C-alpha cells in the first residue's frame, strides 16, 4: 500500500495513522496542491506475479496533449492475472455515526484507450471497468492461499458488489490512442452505504480489468456528494 509524500512526488509506504483524512462531505478535489490523502493499491493477483505486475502510482501532471500543468493521480499496472483491481482510497471523517448515506460520485480521468479497440483478453477501453464505492472499514489488501484479494465486496469484473458499483469503462469513444479527459458518474444510481460508529467512511475509486496489458490512467478530479437516507 502506498501514499504520496510531497518531497519526491511519488507514493511510498505508510501506516494507517499517516493517511490524511478529510472531515465531512461533500468532497471534491482536483489534486492541484497534492494527492489530497488518496492512497493507491493493487489486488487480485497471485504472489508468483508480484514482480511482473509493474504497479506504479504518483502525483504528477496530466500527459500530453492534455494540459500538463494540471496535476492528477497517476496509476499504472500490467494485468498479468487477467483480473487486476487497481484502486485509490481515502478516509472521510465527521459524518453522522451509524447512518445510511446515498453517494453520488463524479470522476474525471485521462484515458488513451479507444472504446472499440482490440487487446489481449478484451478491449483496453471496453473491458477495464471503472468502479466507485465506500465502506465503513478500510479497504485493505489480503493474502489468502497465495492470492492477493481485497477485504471489501467490490464485485468481479463488470459486476457490482456490496461496497462498490460499476459506473462505466475507460473507453474514450475515439479511434485514436491519444489521451483525453473522460467523465463518469453514478448520478442516476446513488451508491448506498452506512457509516461506522465513529462516523467514518472509506471512499474507493478503481478499475477492475479484463484487458491483459498495461493500463495507465490519470485521475484528475473526484467529487462525492451525499444525502442521508431515511
Spell out the per-residue pLDDT of the chain, length 230, in tens.
333 333 233 343 333 335 568 888 999 999 999 999 999 999 999 999 999 999 999 999 999 999 999 999 999 999 877 789 999 999 999 999 999 999 999 999 999 998 775 545 455 656 799 999 999 999 999 999 999 999 999 998 889 999 999 999 999 987 788 999 999 999 999 999 999 999 999 999 999 987 768 899 999 999 999 976 65
- The rounded distance, in Å, linking the Cα atoms of 211 and 88 is 19
On the question of a cis peptide bond just before residue 142, with omega within 30 degrees of 0, the verdict is: no
Domain that holds residue 160: 2-228
The owner of cell 477501453 is 125
Query: In 34-89, which ranges are continuous DSSP H helix?
Result: none
**Pairing relation of β-strands 214-228 and 2-5?**
unpaired
Q: Is 47 helix (H, G, I), strand (E, B) or coil?
A: helix
The owner of cell 497534492 is 34
Specify the pTM: 0.88
- The rounded distance, in Å, linking the Cα atoms of 91 and 89 is 7
What is the domain-level CATH number for residue 44? 2.60.120.260
225: number of Cβ within 10 Å: 15
On the question of a cis peptide bond just before residue 26, with omega within 30 degrees of 0, the verdict is: yes
Cβ proximity of 164 and 186 under 8 Å: no
pLDDT tens readout for residues 146-201: 999 999 999 988 899 999 999 999 999 877 889 999 999 999 999 999 999 999 99
N residues, the chain: 230
- The rounded distance, in Å, linking the Cα atoms of 99 and 61 is 37
Instruction: Count structural domains, the chain.
Output: 1
Amino acid at each position: 500500500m502506498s501514499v504520496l509524500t510531497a518531497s519526491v512526488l511519488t507514493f511510498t509506504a505508510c501506516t494507517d495513522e499517516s493517511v490524511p483524512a478529510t472531515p465531512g462531505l461533500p468532497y471534491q478535489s482536483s489534486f492541484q496542491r497534492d494527492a489530497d490523502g488518496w492512497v493507491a493499491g493493487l489486488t487480485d493477483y497471485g504472489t508468483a506475479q508480484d514482480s511482473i505486475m509493474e504497479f506504479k502510482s504518483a502525483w504528477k501532471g496530466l500527459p500530453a496533449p492534455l494540459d500538463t500543468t494540471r496535476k492528477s493521480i497517476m496509476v499504472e499496472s500490467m494485468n498479468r492475472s487477467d483480473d487486476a483491481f487497481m484502486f485509490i482510497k481515502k478516509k472521510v471523517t465527521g459524518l453522522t455515526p451509524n447512518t445510511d448515506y446515498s453517494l453520488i460520485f463524479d470522476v474525471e480521468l485521462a484515458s488513451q484507450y479507444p472504446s472499440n479497440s482490440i487487446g489481449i483478453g478484451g478491449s483496453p477501453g471496453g473491458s477495464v471497468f471503472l468502479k466507485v464505492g465506500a465502506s465503513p472499514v478500510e479497504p485493505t489488501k489480503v493474502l489468502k492461499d497465495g492470492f492477493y484479494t481485497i477485504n471489501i465486496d467490490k464485485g468481479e469484473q463488470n459486476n457490482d458488489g456490496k461496497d462498490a458499483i460499476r459506473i462505466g469503462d475507460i473507453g474514450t469513444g475515439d479511434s485514436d490512442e491519444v489521451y483525453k479527459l473522460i467523465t463518469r458518474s453514478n448520478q442516476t444510481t446513488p451508491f448506498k452505504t452506512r457509516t461506522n460508529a465513529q462516523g467514518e467512511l472509506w471512499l474507493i475509486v478503481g478499475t477492475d480489468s479484463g484487458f491483459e496489458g498495461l493500463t495507465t490512467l490519470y485521475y484528475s478530479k473526484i467529487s462525492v456528494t451525499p444525502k442521508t437516507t431515511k
